[in-house]
Amino acid sequence: MSERLQPGDVAPDFTLPDADGNEVSLSAHKGRKVIVYFYPAALTPGCTKQACDFTDNLSLLADAGYDVLGISPDAPAKLGKFREKENLKVTLLADPDKKVLDAYGAFGEKMNYGKTYLGVIRSTIIVDEEGKVEKALYNVRATGHVAKIIKDLGI
């Protein structure tokens, strides 16, 4: 389990496949701010709520200079089903080996119903135009999270 990122850290670059199998790199977004959010699993209630909230606010975020990338350990095919079923417009990326999740501190020990296990820690990292971490938010709630980000960023 890696360290959590802090504001000012260089965001680890990555290249991951999207729902269509196309490679997407963080470095390709240089010059724009990027909201990178990590979620446990496509097609689950909380993750669906969060992805729909990002989709509903995508044009507002884009107009303010932000791109949005959602990352989970799901395979590209499952992300494609998720996108189609929920009509998502957010770019969804597959990290089945959890290397990017780990590099961002978004995979580790969690507790649920008194049991400790390893899993995806719902997290959002906001990366500035230069590729540095502006905000690092861990253990966020799916519901209301996008509205809080918009408020905190003054959009």
- For the annotated catalytic residues, the residue numbers are 47
Q: What is the C-alpha to C-alpha distance for residues 69 and 35, in angstroms, rounded to an integer? A: 6
Q: What is the C-alpha to C-alpha distance for residues 99 and 9, in angstroms, rounded to an integer? A: 18
The angle at the Cα of 88, spanning 95 to 15, to the nearest 5 degrees, equals: 25
Q: What is the C-alpha to C-alpha distance for residues 59 and 93, in angstroms, rounded to an integer? A: 19
The total of other beta-carbon atoms located within 10 Å of residue 52's CB is: 17
65's tokens: 């200079």
Secondary structure class of 111 (helix, strand, coil): strand
Q: What is the C-alpha to C-alpha distance for residues 120 and 105, in angstroms, rounded to an integer? A: 9
Q: What is the C-alpha to C-alpha distance for residues 47 and 140, in angstroms, rounded to an integer? A: 12
